[in-house]
Amino acid sequence: MVLVSLDRGSDLLALLRRTGRFGLNVLAGGQSDLALRFADKGVDRFAGVAWSAESGSARLAGVAAWADCTVTGLIDGGDHVIVLGAVVHADASDAAPLTYHARTFGTHHRAEEVVR
């Protein structure tokens, strides 16, 4: 299972309510431009972006991981709706995932082992 939180007014939430499915894309370390693009409102996020409809869900090119999900629950969460999704199909690459912390994009690195 996966959990995503969507703004009540999001176009994606309206689509999920109609279709009952979604694709979850974990962006790779070099894809911060895509993160910013998909965060914008009022733009065609997919214009000029390489993607495919795999198993019925959008899969962006070059992502670190992707999952095709069916909606199993919608939970009110203030100004957002928490969407629960059952993973129907998933795939991952060797690419490090894109992370966002302290208003900065980065990527994941293995933590040093603690010597005791």
Q: What is the pLDDT of residue 42?
A: 75
* pLDDT confidence band for 43 (50 / 70 / 90): confident
* pLDDT confidence band for 114 (50 / 70 / 90): low
Give 55-92 pLDDT, tens digit per residue: 888 999 999 999 999 999 999 999 999 999 999 999 99
As a whole number, mean pLDDT of residues 18-33 equals 95
Which CATH code fits 2-91+98-107?
A: 2.30.110.10
Enumerate the domain spans of the chain. 2-91+98-107
Q: What is the pLDDT of residue 22?
A: 95
- Rounded to two decimals, the pTM is 0.86
Question: d(Cα 112, Cα 73) in Å, to the nearest integer?
Answer: 38
Question: d(Cα 7, Cα 59) in Å, to the nearest integer?
Answer: 21
Question: d(Cα 116, Cα 98) in Å, to the nearest integer?
Answer: 31
| Cβ atoms within 10 Å, residue 76 | 9
Which are the contacts of 98, defined by CB distance < 8 A and separation ≥ 6? 26, 27, 28, 29, 30, 31, 32, 35, 64, 105, 106, 107
